[in-house]
Amino acid sequence: MISLIIRKVLNDYVAFIDDFRNQFSPNMDEFEQRSNRNRSGHIGGFNYQFHGAGCRLEKDAIVCEFDFMPTNEYPIKFSTWEMREFILTSKAYGIDKLEESELHELLHPLVEDGTLVKLVLGGVVWEIYQV
């Protein structure tokens, strides 16, 4: 079932982050500065906690973890674990069990078609997705 809706899940994931980001600060430079000063708090129904390059969002029992690294044109980065948490806590998908390896296989076609890009640092391709 999830294979049929993986694009919707990705769009929902990005929209969730964008909703928070626009409430926190719609300007990317300001967002980065504010996230360094305001490491945790509440805004617009979101509970947030920045930790290193990562951020944990919670709203309506949905957990959304992502990494914010504006090292290139893809500021949102995530691992299969982070995406898996979003899927399993989002009741909209009706999924209560999902292996990271299964999610990795589902995300692979999105990398192949250019929807997602894997992170490359120092010539190493990481199992981190960027959007």
pTM: 0.90
For residues 53 and 67, is the Cβ–Cβ distance under 8 A?
yes
Residue 75 has a pLDDT of: 82
Question: What is the sign, positive or negative, of the torsion defined by CA atoms of 102, 104, 108, 110?
Answer: positive
If one compares 94 and 29, the residue with the highest pLDDT of the two is 94
Tokens encoding 76: 């949102």
At 89, is the pLDDT very low, low, confident or very high (cuts 50, 70, 90)?
Answer: very high
Tokens encoding 126: 């990481």
If one compares 115 and 36, the residue with the highest pLDDT of the two is 115
pLDDT over threshold 80, residue 110? yes
Phi, psi at 27, each rounded to 5°: -85, 125
Residue 31 has a pLDDT of: 72
Chain center to CA of 80: 10
Tokens encoding 92: 């909209």
Give mean pLDDT, residues 116-124.
94
Mean pLDDT of the chain: 90
